[in-house]
Copies of this chain bind each other. A is one copy, B any other.
Amino acid sequence: MPAARRGRPGYDQRQILEIAVQVFIEHGYDATSVASLAERLGLSKSALYHHYASKERLLELALDEAMGSLEAVLREPGATAGSAGDRLEYVLRGAVRVLVDKLAYVTLLLRVRGNSDVERAALQRRRGFDDQITDMVRAAQAEGTVRADVGAAVATRLLFGMVNSIVEWYRPGGPEGAEALADDVLTIALDGLRTR
Q: Which residues of A contact B (CB under 8 A)?
A: 28, 30-31, 85, 137, 144-147, 149-151, 154-155, 157-166, 168-169, 176, 181, 184-185, 187-195
- Whether the pair B187, A189 counts as a contact (CB closer than 8 A) is no
A156 to chain B minimum Cβ distance, whole angstroms, is 10
* 4 closest cross-chain pairs (CB), A and B: A161-B165, A192-B192, A191-B192, A162-B162
- Whether the pair A188, B158 counts as a contact (CB closer than 8 A) is yes
Among A28, A185, A187, A194: residue with most chain B CB under 10 A: A194
- Whether the pair B151, A187 counts as a contact (CB closer than 8 A) is no
A153 to chain B minimum Cβ distance, whole angstroms, is 9
- Whether the pair A192, B195 counts as a contact (CB closer than 8 A) is no
